[in-house]
Amino acid sequence: MGERGEETLRTYEEINEKIKRGDATVMTADEFVEYAKTHGVEAAAKEVDVVTTGTFGAMCSSGAFLNFGHTDPPIKMYRCWLNDVPAYGAIAAVDVYLGAAALSETRGLEYGGGHVIEDLVSGRVVELRGEGFVTDCYPRRYVETTITLEDLNQAILLNPRNAYQRYNAATNTTDRILYTYMGTLLPRMGNVNFSGSGQLSPLYKDKDFETIGVGTRIFLGGGVGYVIGEGTQHNPQNGFGTLMVRGDLKGMSSRFLRGATIHKYGVTLYVGVGIPIPIINMRVARSASLSDEEIFTDVVDYGVPSSNRPSLRKVSYAELKSGKIVLNDRSVPASPLSSLKKAREVAETLKKWILDGEFYVSKPVELLPTYRELKPLKIKGIEPRVKDIMSKNVITAKPSDNVQYVANLIVRHGIDHVPIVDEENRLVGIVTSWDIAKAVAQNKKSLQEVMTRRVITAKQNEAIDVVAKRLSSYGISGAPVVDEKNHVIGVVTTNDLAKLLEGKGYL
């Protein structure tokens, strides 16, 4: 075992010499995997100088620094909008940062920062609006004009977190359709969505970060970019390494940079990232030869509203890419969210650049950490749970009770929800004051006829926000709180939630 990053097979200089002479051997990761399978990794490592990789996926943690140039009289722009999408202006007078996930203040989810970046790269005209902080040296209060990419002094794509080594695959065990950042998830594990390009994925092809580091020259959005460090949430010891990258927007193309809307989730930017892996030693060669059969990720249940979602099983990218995976003995359709077609195109383009002598590999100035703790955000102070706001004095009824009796209960106690329970206080249904009013109007007598049997419930230790979202997504105003054995121990209503907000001074 030598040092990480040691150049025992070939040096960066030797590779660049070959690129210059036009006799470097370059393969895409797909080709290298095949070559290593048939000829063995040793032979492949001897033969091949550089392996090119690629990925093309939604990378929300992206954005661009823009410099507009000074107006006359000058303005210190502290608020700024591009096509109605707010950009962060609290940096020097005419610099802003436009985040890919920022939403248009007029069009909402339909249009956002990612789309502005695509429009700029496509050469389209973008409306600029800015508000000034007036000072003696910056007297202007307001600016409104249009810009194109060409007009800008600098337009630098700078993405804090790109190119996740791998990502979880997503499914949904609940009984309703979910719209997540992992796409549309059908109820009852109706489908699986996955991200990442498996054996083409840049960070899997050098999984110990021996060649990818600060200063590595890469393919970014159709142009040339650089790795400037580890990405945020870099967590390489668990296979979740990430990169921070930058590149000149002016050299990029909308073929590899696309604004997108993930339905009911938000706006993002699809980014094409390709990294050349110089085969400097055997460990790098072995990593670059990993095939889809050897690269695994977890299938995670996005129906669980917690950041600790359970993994249902491990799955290889080979199985995911086959279009079907087995979950609970059932074959479930699986498809990628990131484009494998474009990922391949990225790797092919990068290969061509190198073969044409237009792109040289660069030795990192500094290697990236291979271990980084990933800490959650601890909430200090006490967050209320369902048990803190629910009414514990529950008025219940039996299925055998009649409508008139329940109507009386509702009036006497001034309540809207009456859980229906069996002899052991186990939940079997619910009626609301509305159900009862309707039953009286229609002259129905028996509770059995009017009660709802599939009841939406809450648990006492659940977070309030989760229950609030559940109530609103089912369009209901309250839910019984049950324990593990389905005993009714309380009722939580939208009224209780309103009271909580009032107490906090939110209303």
Partner 1 sequence: MRFRLIYNHKNLSKPILAEAILKTKVLINILEAKVTPTAGEIMVDVPVEGEKLREVIRFFEDAGVTVKEVAQILEIDMGRCMGCGACVSPCPTQALKLTKDWEIEFDEKKCVRCMICVDACPVKAIKFT
> DSSP letter at 200?
G
Q: Annotated catalytic, 137?
A: yes
CA nearest neighbour of 243 among 256, 258, 228: 228
Q: Is 266 in the site for partner 1 (CB under 8 A)?
A: no
Q: Is 340 in the site for partner 1 (CB under 8 A)?
A: yes
Selected from 59, 60, 98, 192, the binder of partner 1 by CB under 8 A is 192
Q: Which residue number, 180 or 494, has a Cβ lying nearer to partner 1?
A: 180
At residue 337, the 3 state secondary structure works out as: coil
Size of the site for partner 1 (CB under 8 A): 34
Q: Is 33 in the site for partner 1 (CB under 8 A)?
A: no
Q: Are 325 and 299 in contact (CB under 8 A)?
A: yes
At residue 143, the 3 state secondary structure works out as: strand
Element (H, E) at 497: helix 494-503
Selected from 76, 166, 234, 258, the binder of partner 1 by CB under 8 A is 258
Scanning residues 47 to 106, which ones bind partner 1 (CB under 8 A)? 56-58
Scanning residues 203 to 242, which ones bind partner 1 (CB under 8 A)? none
Separation of alpha carbons 64 and 337, rounded Å: 23
Q: Which residue number, 345 or 401, has a Cβ lying nearer to partner 1?
A: 345
> DSSP letter at 237?
G
Selected from 337, 346, 386, 390, the binder of partner 1 by CB under 8 A is 337
Strands, DSSP E only, in 163-255?
Answer: 169-171, 178-180, 183-185, 192-194, 213-214, 217-220, 223-230, 243-248
CB of 343 to partner 1, least distance (A): 8
User: β-pairing, 213-214 with 243-248?
Assistant: unpaired
Selected from 191, 216, 362, 432, the binder of partner 1 by CB under 8 A is 191
DSSP labels for 344-400?
A: HHHHHHHHHHHHTT-------SEEPPS----PPPP--SPPPBHHHHSBSS---B-TT
Scanning residues 135 to 174, which ones bind partner 1 (CB under 8 A)? none
Stretch that binds partner 1, among 46-54, 237-245, 290-298, 335-343 (CB under 8 A): 335-343
Q: Which residue number, 200 or 397, has a Cβ lying nearer to partner 1?
A: 200
Q: Which residue number, 142 or 179, has a Cβ lying nearer to partner 1?
A: 179
Q: Going by C-beta distance under 8 Å and a sequence separation of 6 or more, which residues neighbour residue 485?
A: 426
CB of 333 to partner 1, least distance (A): 4
Scanning residues 267 to 296, which ones bind partner 1 (CB under 8 A)? 268, 270
CB of 373 to partner 1, least distance (A): 33
Stretch that binds partner 1, among 74-82, 256-264, 289-297, 309-317 (CB under 8 A): 256-264
Binding mask 359-398 for partner 1 (x = CB under 8 A): ----------------------------------------
Q: Are 98 and 116 in contact (CB under 8 A)?
A: yes
Compute the chain's Rg from CA coordinates.
Answer: 29
Separation of alpha carbons 493 and 472, rounded Å: 11
Q: Which two tokens stand for residue 214?
A: 């600060």
> DSSP letter at 70?
-
Q: Is 116 in the site for partner 1 (CB under 8 A)?
A: no
CB of 260 to partner 1, least distance (A): 4
Q: Is the preceding omega at residue 333 within 30 degrees of 0, hence cis?
A: no
CB of 258 to partner 1, least distance (A): 6
Judging by beta carbons within 10 Å of its beta carbon (0-12, 13-18, 19+), is residue 451 exposed, middle or buried?
Answer: buried
Selected from 83, 162, 201, 339, the binder of partner 1 by CB under 8 A is 339
Q: Is 123 in the site for partner 1 (CB under 8 A)?
A: no
Q: Which residue number, 347 or 368, has a Cβ lying nearer to partner 1?
A: 347
Selected from 86, 89, 99, 183, the binder of partner 1 by CB under 8 A is 183
Separation of alpha carbons 469 and 458, rounded Å: 11
C-alpha to C-alpha distances, 306 to 285, 302, 437, nearest whole angstrom: 38, 9, 38
Separation of alpha carbons 106 and 83, rounded Å: 9
Q: Which residue number, 318 or 456, has a Cβ lying nearer to partner 1?
A: 318
Selected from 143, 158, 224, 260, the binder of partner 1 by CB under 8 A is 260
Selected from 69, 108, 123, 190, the binder of partner 1 by CB under 8 A is 190
1, 137, 382, 441: the active-site residue: 137
Selected from 173, 184, 457, 460, the binder of partner 1 by CB under 8 A is 184
CB of 268 to partner 1, least distance (A): 8
Judging by beta carbons within 10 Å of its beta carbon (0-12, 13-18, 19+), is residue 294 exposed, middle or buried?
Answer: middle
Scanning residues 303 to 332, which ones bind partner 1 (CB under 8 A)? 323
> DSSP letter at 22?
T
CB of 375 to partner 1, least distance (A): 31
Residues that are catalytic:
137
Contact positions vs partner 1 (CB under 8 A): 56-58, 177, 179, 183-186, 190-193, 258-264, 268, 270, 323, 333-342, 344
